Structure 1
């Protein structure tokens, strides 16, 4: 077991055991960072982007890694996650609107039978709705469109145990308000399989990475600490064609960066965003993202460029900038 350490001990460990340097941010400032602004686990996680000495007196220590580089990556990650989460929500919203528009024009669906069949096929989603009956934003909808009863333990009938749904009379436009993005994507696929004449706006091979990215952003997971993490999933034809259509990105750069899981998921989001989000919303959000990649992301780009920089990070940022710049 790793023993609990104070902020001072953590900074000392980074310096002595990991070889991290404190020329740009002092050790005292690093202690204050761990005590007041961010925790060790998150900040230190970005060191995975850096190589270590493999031999000699510094074997096992990081090469040319300043603590300031870690805090800069953490800050950029925070701003990027904020923007990407809003963009994921925009994609989710427009997908839901498009599915309801399709349902409205489909004379073979009343919007109710498909929900009953969907929840019968995915009882775990019905169970998730049961757990939301006490929630302030969903409780009234659930009580209105589902038959709900309280279940009490036999040995103690006075004690409230749980809520169960025993009948469903819910239309699809209400169900959309009760389920998460991943559950909605199941509904989206279920509708398409049930109605072969419907052509989905985006394939699941694009939407699933967007879902993964949305979950990461919503749960405040770090994105930029795993730039070297390669994906076993090959980019789909539409994603490869999307990047190939950008004349500022070479074929080698495309192949290299789309194997990075974080970059791949971000590109899937940008592709989806460009395809389906309404022009007015897209214009505003892409403007915000453009200002970030050309502004705040460039403020300390010297940390990563140059002979003693980090090629992985510098080229990843350059790739992202090239893609975003072409979306305007």
Structure 2
């Protein structure tokens, strides 16, 4: 069992591992660990730095670098979560619109098929009716109904459950859809919502052994030849977090392409472009911290390349879609 450490002991532990305190003093670091972030989470960003095999210490790792990575991660999670919520809302709106125009579907039939395929979901909805949550009133109102309508059901489902319903509906009627990319968005949404560290495993990607990249997404990104090298596309599309972020970017920009949503799309992409690509943006604010770290520098060039590609395509009147569905 690992020993519990006080903040003073945490600082000493970092020093033993080669972390320096030249930009941020030890006293400033102690305040940060007390009021801003905790040791286990902050230390996870050190995975992006090599360890000297001779002495077991990190190479060129300053405490301020870990702090900056944690801040960038926090800002990025907020942007990602907002994008995921927009995607969820538009997907529900589009599905209900498509269903309203589908003469073969009455809005109840698809729910019967969904509950048959996923019987535990109905049990979970009934449990919501008896618990305190934001949808408990709606769940209670329809708990005695023998049949649920799809327009009520979508309000009671988590995003993961909605993805099941969405996939089932569009497969049932053989309609074009974004099902191939929604698991990626779900994983990213959950990570952002639960404050998981997105930038803590660039060198050793989390979940890489269990992950399968989406070939159609990789092919779609191949059009960004000017912005991203073949080597970078091949490498980073094999990393779950990068792959899923690209999926979110492409689906988001496709879904919000219509005139009714275009202002919201452009505002978000302007925010991302400023965040990653502009000198006054948050990522480049302390770029000197990471210039010697090839792992972080290469990952940054890949993501900034994707955003620049999207920014350029969105302003191209001949551009249609990022993904063929």
* Counterpart for residue 273 of structure 1: 252
| 2:228 counterpart of 1:249 | yes
Gaps of 5+ in 1: 148-166
Q: Tell me the C-alpha RMSD between the 2 structures.
A: 1.5
TM-score, normalised relative to structure 1: 0.87
Q: Counterparts of 1:232-243 in structure 2 under 5 Å? A: 232=209, 233-243=211-221
**Structure 2 counterpart of 1:162:** none
Contact 2:107 2:149 in 1 (8 A): yes
Instruction: Note if contact 1:7-1:34 (Cα within 8 Å) is conserved in structure 2.
Output: yes
Q: CA deviation at 1:237?
A: 3.2
Partner of 1:150: none
Q: Tell me if the contact between 1:21 and 1:67 (Cα under 8 Å) persists in the aligned partners.
A: yes
Q: Which residue of 2 aligns with 1:288?
A: 271
TM score, norm. by length of structure 2: 0.88
Quick one: distance in 2 between partners of 1:102 and 1:184?
A: 15
Q: CA deviation at 1:122?
A: 1.0
Which residue of 299, 307, 314 corresponds with 1:324?
Answer: 307
Paired residue for 1:199? Answer: 176
Cα distance in 2 for partners of 1:90, 1:6 equals 42
Q: Give, in angstroms, the shift of residue 234 of structure 1.
A: 4.7
Structure 1 or 2: more helix by fraction:
2
Question: What corresponds to 1:81 in structure 2?
Answer: 77
- Following superposition, the deviation at residue 270 of structure 1 comes to 0.6
Q: CA deviation at 1:130?
A: 2.3
Q: Where does residue 322 of structure 2 map in the other structure?
A: none
Cα gap change, 1:142/1:315 in structure 2, threshold over 3 Å: closer, same or farther?
same
Of 186, 192, 195 in structure 2, the residue corresponding to residue 217 of structure 1 is: 192
1:31 alignment counterpart: 30
- Quote the offset at 1:116 in angstroms: 2.5
Structure-2 separation of matches of 1:186 and 1:35: 42
User: C-alpha separation between the residues in 2 aligned to 1:302 and 1:185?
Assistant: 42
**Equivalent in 290, 304, 308 of residue 290 of structure 2:** 304
How far residue 50 of structure 1 moved from its aligned partner, in angstroms, is 0.8
Q: How many residues get paired? A: 299
Greater Cα offset, 282-291 or 128-137: 128-137
8 A Cα contact 1:226 1:262, kept in partner: no
Are 1:99 and 2:95 matched, yes or no? yes
Q: CA deviation at 1:256?
A: 1.6
In 2, the alpha carbon distance for the partners of 1:284 and 1:170 equals 37
Counterpart-to-counterpart distance in 2, 1:120 and 1:261: 32
User: Aligned partners of 1:99, 1:82: CA distance in 2, in Å?
Assistant: 26
Q: Is the 8 A contact 2:185 2:247 kept in 1?
A: yes
Residues 182 and 211, structure 1, Cα contact 8 Å, conserved in 2: yes
| Shift, 1:136, TM fit | 4.7
Q: Does the 8 Å contact 1:227/1:261 carry over to 2?
A: no
Given the alignment, which residue of 159, 166, 169 partners 2:147?
169
Report the alpha carbon displacement of residue 322 of structure 1 after superposing the two structures with TM.
1.4
SS at match of 1:229: coil
Check the 8 A contact 1:119/1:125 in 2, yes or no.
yes
Show the counterpart of 1:158.
none
> Which protein shows a greater Rg?
1
Q: Which of 114, 134, 158 lines up with 1:137 in the alignment?
A: 134
- Give the whole-Å Cα distance in 1 for the aligned partners of 2:297 and 2:152: 45
